[in-house]
Amino acid sequence: MSTGATGFLERYEAAVGRLPGDSALRAAAAAAFKVAGLPGGTPRARPVEAWKYTSLRPVAEATFQASPKHEAETLLSGLTLLDAPRLVFVDGVLRADLSDASPTMTTVGHSATVAPLLTGGSFTAGVQIARFADQPDFGTLTWPDREPMVALNTMLASDGATLDVPAGVDGGIVQLVSLSGGQGDFHPRHSIRLGKGARLTVVEISAGQGVYLLNTVAEIHVAAGAHLTHIRLQDEAATAFHVSTTYADVVAGGTYDSFTLNLGGRLSRTEVHTQLSGPGATAHLNAAQILAGSQHADFTTVVSHTAPSCGSRQTVKNVLAGRSRGVFQGKIEVARHAQKTDGYQMNQALLLSPYAEVDSKPELEIFADDVKCSHGATVGELDAEQMFYLRSRGIPDADAKSILVRAFLAEALDAVADETIRGLLETAVEQWWERQKA
């Protein structure tokens, strides 16, 4: 299958009658995508500041290939998962037979296709889940007109999960697992809503085989005093493309606590837009990117402080080997009335090779006069004295490197409060390291 912007539009034209939901919205998104195209997708593409360091030309030029031995079951059994409910999407489509919902989860409305994966429970407690395929929910926060990849998702999205946690309910952990291996491009569309004082942890895990594009959009609403922990573990096939765009709105006293671990993919872009729109709202957008070979990973954030006394924290660490490239673009916007804003941003890179590259672009746009905002960036190599100290104790060179890299990452991973989840991420890093040694 040839891709490029035209390929996506042709597929939209062909499928338009069968796609669920608001067709006018999809048509508008298609029109926007037709104008914008893939960012950097052609040599003539107009440069866009938001995509300064990342070009999707490799996506435009790729030939998507199904993995010959692709089997969702095999992929799934190879993954380390938490002992918690999971919704499994294969090539972007929910597979009820591979999913495992908790008895406390319930369906809402007429989400009949989700019902079979539920083992019981009532409508009074727990997480209410629905499928995008049954109840398309495009949300209200996204900007298809400004973000070409969101436009592409809006145009082609066919499935996804809608998770609602009623006020005061602790929804526990829900895993959203994406397995890709089929030929093509997949555009999951998720929606997560937490009622007042509700709690939920969402762990998104993505993996696959072959050459494909996973282009996810998630919309998140955190109500007053609610707390959402959002973990992304991106471990896609080394030949795959991964784009994930999240929009989160957090109101008074709410917390959006997110951590992204980018390990896989030939090229990945994780973009998070967070709006702190009620006093005392908090956002943590932490990330670690560990790359080798010619991998490219871009972590881009926009935090809008639109209410007073909100806090945002971002610690982004890159470990870059080979000819890999890590990008962090972080923008903090502080509106005029958002006094007492506390914004912090730190980007650190550890370069394991003279050919690796890190690009860091912090942006502060502050219109209030009583705020605390800071940002910093460091780039370094492994410390020669520390290496010698470890080796002088008998620890071989490769193991000494691994110890220092894990120590560098520890501070970032420490931001993940739940020990089990931190363990899951540490295991993924461990496996990444083993793959590099092999």
Partner 1 sequence: MLDIRGLTASIGDKPILKGIDLTVPAGEVHAIMGPNGSGKSTLGYVLSGREDYTVTGGSATFNGADILAMEPEQRAAAGVFLAFQAPIELPGVNNANFLRTALNAIRRAHGESELDAVQFLKLARAETKRLAMPDDMLKRNVNVGFSGGEKKRNEVLQMAILRPKLAILDETDSGLDIDALKIVADGVNALRGPEFSALVITHHQRLLDHLVPNRVHVLAHGRIVRTGGPELAKELEKSGYAGLIAEAA
**Which spans of this chain sit near partner 1 (rule: CB under 8 A)?**
384-386, 388-397, 399-400, 403-404, 406-411
Distance CA 78, CA 72 (A): 10
- Of 147, 248, 150, 240, residue with least CA distance to 191: 248
Q: How far is the CB of 387 from partner 1 (least distance, A)?
A: 9
As measured in angstroms, the least distance from the Cβ of 426 to partner 1 is 12
Q: CB neighbours (10 Å) of residue 17?
A: 7
Rounded CA-CA distance 221/191 in Å is 8
Residue 233 CB, shortest distance to partner 1, in Å, is: 21
Decide whether 350 or 356 has the Cβ nearer to partner 1.
350
> Least CB distance from residue 114 to partner 1, whole Å?
43
**Which strand ranges, in their side-by-side order, compose the sheet holding 86-90?**
93-94, 86-90, 170-180, 199-208, 227-235, 255-262, 282-291, 311-320, 342-351, 372-380
The b-or-e profile of 131-144 (16+ CB within 10 A means b, else e) is bbbbbbbbbebbeb
Residue 232 beta carbon to partner 1: minimum distance, rounded to whole angstroms:
23
Nearest to 52 by CA among 329, 349, 379, 331: 329
* 262, 295 contact by CB (below 8 A): no
> What DSSP line would sit under 43-69, residue for residue?
TTPPP-GGGSS---HHHHH-B-B--TT
The smaller minimum CB distance to partner 1, of residues 354 and 394, is found at 394
Q: Which is nearer to partner 1, 10 or 430 (CB)?
A: 430
Residue 369 or 385 with smaller CB distance to partner 1: 385
Q: Which residue has the tokens 């608001």?
A: 22
Residue 333 CB, shortest distance to partner 1, in Å, is 32
Q: Based on CB atoms, which residue is closest to partner 1, 95 or 406?
A: 406
H helices, E strands: number in the chain: 8, 21
Shortest Å, Cβ 348 to partner 1: 12
DSSP calls for 171-183: EEEEEEEEEE-SS
Contact, 421 vs 382, CB < 8 A?
no
Q: How far is CA 358 from CA 53, 167, 300, in A?
A: 10, 42, 13
Nearer to partner 1 among residue 123 and residue 389 (C-beta): 389
CB of 412 to partner 1, least distance (A): 10
Pick between residue 246 and residue 402 the one whose CB is nearest to partner 1: 402
Residue 8 or 408: the one with the smaller Cβ distance to partner 1 is 408
